[in-house]
Amino acid sequence: SGLSIGHASPEAAAGGAIGLVRDGDKVLIDIPNRSINLLIDDAEMAERRAEQDKKGWKPVESRPRKVTTALKAYALLATSADKGAVRDKALLDKLVP
């Protein structure tokens, strides 16, 4: 297979670190550990969150919309970016015993 990063936008919309990435930032993509991390220190992360809050940012609320069966299946099996943005086969086991 190969590298595939998906499901990052929902994590950003929910307030995750991926929404705080700026041009020039380094992002560590760790394939063996299935993680994606923004490489900034805690102080910078807090400063960016404070700037975002000052602008009145709020997480996006769910909205009613038509979603294809394929996208529903992907959403059921994919983790958010803060958990690696990977398809998690263990989630399938929970759906189909």
pLDDT of the residue at 11: 76
pLDDT of the residue at 97: 63
pLDDT of the residue at 25: 97
3-class SS string, the chain: CCCCCCCHHHHHHCCCHHHHCCCCCCEEEECCCCEEEECCCHHHHHHHHHHHHHCCCCCCCCCCCCCCHHHHHHHHHECCHHHCCCECHHHHHHHCC
pLDDT of the residue at 41: 96
Give the integer Cα–Cα distance in Å for 50 and 37.
19
pLDDT of the residue at 30: 86
pLDDT of the residue at 7: 59
Residues of the chain scoring pLDDT < 50: none
